[in-house]
């Protein structure tokens, strides 16, 4: 029998495939193999002498001389595939840059140059920063998890830079993960100007050639620092010395399609396997991380003061119950004027883009709905179109009501565009910079907006989620938060945790450098307990209260969840598939796992597909995973399996 190789192929099947090959091939090497009627790129995971299958096809081509995935990466990825119950072929593929997935050669086109000169900070680190650096340094070469819990502007990034410097001196590489919207040009240049090493960045704005180069420079050890968004957790780094996760509470570390992993959670495994320290930095730790601190699994390092010496902003509420005049209260308008008169910048936070979220008929109450989704269409005035923010469908707004034929249609509610229009009417001579997905679609647009803000001239900045984190605007004196109430009314058990994080992060943009800033929150629920804590910047106390509630209701992080989602154009099929799955799950006798559902998703129909969920929960993580792996072995028996699209989401956050 000629040698046989076992190959992982990117197909949604929980198995690998055997091929004949005239030579032994190292694990981690890419091969081109016939699969059905196609040729596909697979990754060798093993050499064998026997196969359980009779008629084996032969490998077409061996693509690499040496493994593209080394032993440690393979171990890491196998762990991830097992934990997320995801097919190994798809997991290995999603860890590779696209050009390697397509079978292109692993060759560096353009290497990154070393900086000519690096700058030194013009300040001395404070005692808390020094202590954090000392404690982290003492754990070099061993796994240890740290929460770097520092208020906004407390100099966490400075700690990252100094500790990274120490690692580089020892010839180590450092992996830094930041949220999607946190990897700004400002952040990248801060690293580049301070560290004498090659820094590669991995994020969505890079083209495929740049992504491949970054990957290979990490892999050959030339890059001292890899700075990237969630997928950078898969960057190969032979001399890995430390992992940093900045803004660890951020939802964007979770991949929400195909292979659904959490880069934050995987960073624990990677750090453990590589025997290196892990630093999770944030001003607003997730409840998962706080629980890890309480359980003694990671140590907390605190930075309690803003590095600039300026106090945290003064936060106050404006009661909107009595304010019926629209989105902006008279009080807030007066405050904005006061700061603009002092040549300061003001930021207004509203988490909805477009002009108005509802286009409706005053006579009969008709609302313009998307024909493909259970969702209203958002009015975009600049192009005079109704758009669906779920599926992207667009249409002209009707001139008369389709239901009652009256011409009494109007836009209701506020989005960023309408806020801009309203502000223009109040502050005609002030530049207004709107930053949302519509104004930053072009590649350089976001950077250009930031540049304009950084010039420091008085202006009003309108921002969505995109501006909540990480930005440091020197002349920004006041932040107004306009629409928080949806977060208070949501049924999602994580909604208040998220809202508290968002309020503190957004507030943290104000008055960072020279003078105490001010934050004003408009709400109709002034008496809600969340504000007690937010107003006095006591996030930790608030989070501890939430933890107690989660414990008493046995919700994560005190239990573990998984979600089986099915969707189909045929609503009945989606439901029936989950009923079948539910019966199968209930047949597998594992105690301590609760199963609920199937129930429709919050938005039941999206892009013509009906979404239903089955929830699994257990206080015992391994019981849950045992159940899921047995389920995985029997999934082929489900009759509707090929009639619906379905996926499993482990530790879901939505
Ligand atoms: P964080 O990452 O915690 O939000 P940064 O690291 O961005 O905070 O620090 C905020 C600002 O304070 C930056 O401009 C930084 O250069 C500056 N800074 C950091 N540490 C110190 C220090 N010890 N003394 C004075 N300024 C500092
Ligand atoms: Zn739609």
31 sits in which H/E element: strand 30-35
Residues 265-279 have a mean pLDDT of 98
Q: What is the dihedral of CA 207, 351, 374, 84, to 10 degrees?
A: 50
If you take atom 15 of ligand 1, which residue's CA is the nearest one? Answer: 155
Q: Which CATH class is domain 560-650?
A: alpha beta
CA of 473 to the centre of ligand 2 (A): 36
Residues 552-569 have a mean pLDDT of 96
Q: Which ligand is nearest to the CA of 395?
A: 2
Domain boundaries, the chain: 4-101, 127-303, 314-356+413-549, 560-650
Which residues have a beta carbon within 5 Å of ligand 2, which is an ion? 370, 372-373, 388, 390-391, 393
4-101 CATH pick, 3.30.870.10, 3.20.20.370, 3.40.1440.60, 3.40.50.300: 3.40.1440.60
Q: Are 487 and 502 in contact (CB under 8 A)?
A: yes
Q: Are 476 and 483 in contact (CB under 8 A)?
A: no
Closest atom of ligand 1 to 303 CA is 3
Cα maximum dimension of the chain: 85
Q: pLDDT tens digit string along 502-528?
A: 999 888 888 777 788 899 999 999 999
pLDDT-based confidence at 628, cuts 50/70/90? very high
User: Which two structure tokens, joined as six digits, stand for 547?
Assistant: 């933890």
Per-residue pLDDT at 426 exceeds 80: yes
Q: Which CATH class is domain 127-303?
A: alpha beta
pLDDT-based confidence at 325, cuts 50/70/90? low
Sheet hosting strand 345-349, strand order edge to edge: 314-319, 518-523, 476-481, 345-349, 460-463, 432-435
User: Which two structure tokens, joined as six digits, stand for 37?
Assistant: 């009627």
Cβ–ligand 1 distance for 156 under 6 Å, the answer yes
Cβ–ligand 1 distance for 126 under 6 Å, the answer yes
Q: pLDDT tens digit string along 174-220?
A: 999 999 877 777 888 899 999 999 999 998 888 999 999 999 999 99
pLDDT-based confidence at 255, cuts 50/70/90? very high
Per-residue pLDDT at 142 exceeds 90: yes
The average confidence (pLDDT) of the chain is 93
Closest atom of ligand 1 to 126 CA is 23
Per-residue pLDDT at 566 exceeds 90: yes
- Same fold across 4-101 and 127-303: no
CATH architecture designation of domain 314-356+413-549: 3-Layer(aba) Sandwich (3.40)
Helix 185-194 vs helix 156-169: crossing angle, to nearest 10: 40
Mutate which of 131, 158, 187 for ligand 1 pocket (most atoms within 8 A of beta carbon):
158
Lowest mean pLDDT among 40-44, 319-323, 373-377, 414-418: 319-323
Determine the pLDDT at residue 470.
Answer: 66
Determine the pLDDT at residue 1.
Answer: 67
Q: Are 516 and 311 in contact (CB under 8 A)?
A: yes
Per-residue pLDDT at 118 exceeds 90: no
Mutate which of 119, 125, 155 for ligand 1 pocket (most atoms within 8 A of beta carbon):
155
Residues 300-321 have a mean pLDDT of 90
d(CA 519, CA 500): 14
d(CA 191, CA 164): 10
Cβ–ligand 1 distance for 244 under 6 Å, the answer no
Q: In Å, how far are 274, 454, 470, 571 from 133, measured between CA atoms?
A: 20, 30, 21, 55
Please give the residue that has the higher pLDDT: either 63 or 445: 63
Lowest mean pLDDT among 56-65, 209-218, 258-267, 314-323: 314-323
Cβ–ligand 1 distance for 182 under 6 Å, the answer no
Lowest mean pLDDT among 108-112, 308-312, 509-513, 535-539: 509-513
């Amino acid at each position: 029998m000629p040698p046989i190789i076992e190959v992982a192929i990117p197909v949604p099947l929980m198995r690998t495939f055997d091929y004949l090959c005239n030579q032994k091939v190292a694990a981690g090497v890419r091969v081109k193999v016939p699969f059905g009627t196609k040729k596909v790129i697979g990754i060798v995971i093993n050499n064998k002498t026997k196969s359980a299958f009779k008629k084996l096809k032969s490998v077409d081509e061996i693509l690499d001389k040496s493994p593209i995935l080394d032993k440690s990466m393979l171990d890491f990825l196998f762990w991830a595939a097992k934990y997320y119950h995801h097919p190994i072929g798809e997991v290995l593929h999603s860890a590779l840059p696209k050009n390697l997935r397509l079978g292109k050669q692993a060759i560096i086109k353009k290497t990154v140059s070393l900086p000519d000169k690096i700058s030194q900070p013009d300040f001395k680190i404070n005692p808390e920063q020094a202590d954090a650096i000392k404690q982290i340094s003492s754990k070099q070469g061993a796994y240890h998890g740290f929460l770097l819990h520092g208020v906004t502007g407390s100099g966490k990034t400075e700690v990252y830079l100094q500790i990274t410097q120490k690692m580089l001196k020892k010839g180590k590489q450092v992996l830094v993960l930041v949220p999607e919207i946190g990897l700004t040009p400002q952040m990248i240049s801060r690293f580049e100007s301070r560290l004498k090493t090659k820094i590669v960045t991995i994020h969505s704005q890079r083209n495929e050639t740049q992504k491949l180069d970054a990957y290979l420079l990490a892999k050959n050890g030339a890059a001292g620092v890899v700075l990237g968004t969630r997928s950078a957790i898969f960057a190969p780094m032979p001399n890995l010395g430390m992992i940093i996760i900045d803004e660890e509470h951020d939802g964007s570390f979770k991949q929400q399609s195909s292979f659904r992993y959490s880069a934050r959670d995987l960073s624990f495994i990677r750090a453990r396997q590589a025997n290196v320290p892990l630093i999770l930095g944030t001003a607003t730790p997730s409840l998962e991380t706080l629980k890890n601190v309480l359980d003694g699994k990671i140590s907390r390092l605190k930075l309690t003061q803003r590095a600039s010496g300026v106090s945290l902003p003064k936060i106050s509420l404006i009661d909107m119950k009595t304010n019926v005049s629209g989105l902006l209260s008279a009080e807030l308008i007066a405050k904005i004027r006061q700061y603009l008169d002092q040549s300061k910048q003001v930021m207004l936070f509203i988490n909805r883009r477009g002009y108005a979220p509802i286009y409706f008929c005053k006579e009969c109450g008709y609302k313009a709905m998307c024909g493909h989704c259970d969702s209203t269409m958002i009015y975009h005035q600049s192009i005079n179109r109704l758009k669906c923010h779920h599926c992207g469908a667009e249409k002209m707004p009707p001139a008369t009501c389709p239901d009652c034929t009256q011409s009494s249609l109007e836009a209701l509610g506020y989005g960023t565009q309408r806020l801009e229009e309203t502000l223009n009417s109040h502050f005609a001579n002030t530049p207004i910079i709107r930053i949302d997905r519509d104004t930053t679609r072009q590649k350089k647009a976001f950077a250009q907006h930031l540049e304009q803000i950084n010039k420091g001239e008085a202006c009003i900045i309108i921002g969505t989620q995109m501006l909540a984190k990480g930005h440091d605007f020197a002349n920004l004196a006041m932040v107004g938060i306009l629409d928080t109430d949806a977060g208070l009314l949501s049924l999602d058990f994580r909604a208040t945790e998220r809202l508290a994080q968002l309020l503190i992060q957004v507030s943290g943009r104000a008055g960072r450098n020279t003078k105490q800033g001010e934050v004003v929150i408009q709400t109709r629920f002034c008496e809600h307990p969340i504000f007690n804590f937010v107003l006095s910047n006591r996030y930790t106390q608030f989070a501890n209260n939430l933890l107690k509630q989660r414990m008493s209701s046995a919700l994560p992080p005190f239990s573990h969840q998984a979600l089986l989602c099915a969707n189909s154009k045929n609503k009945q099929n989606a439901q029936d598939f989950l009923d079948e799955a539910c019966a199968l799950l209930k047949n597998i006798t594992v105690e301590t796992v609760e199963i609920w559902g199937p129930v429709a998703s919050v938005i039941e129909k999206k892009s013509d597909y009906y979404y239903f969920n089955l929830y699994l929960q257990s206080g015992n993580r391994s019981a849950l995973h045992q159940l899921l792996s047995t389920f995985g072995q029997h999934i082929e028996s489900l009759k509707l399996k090929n009639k619906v699209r379905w996926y499993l989401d482990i530790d879901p956050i939505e």
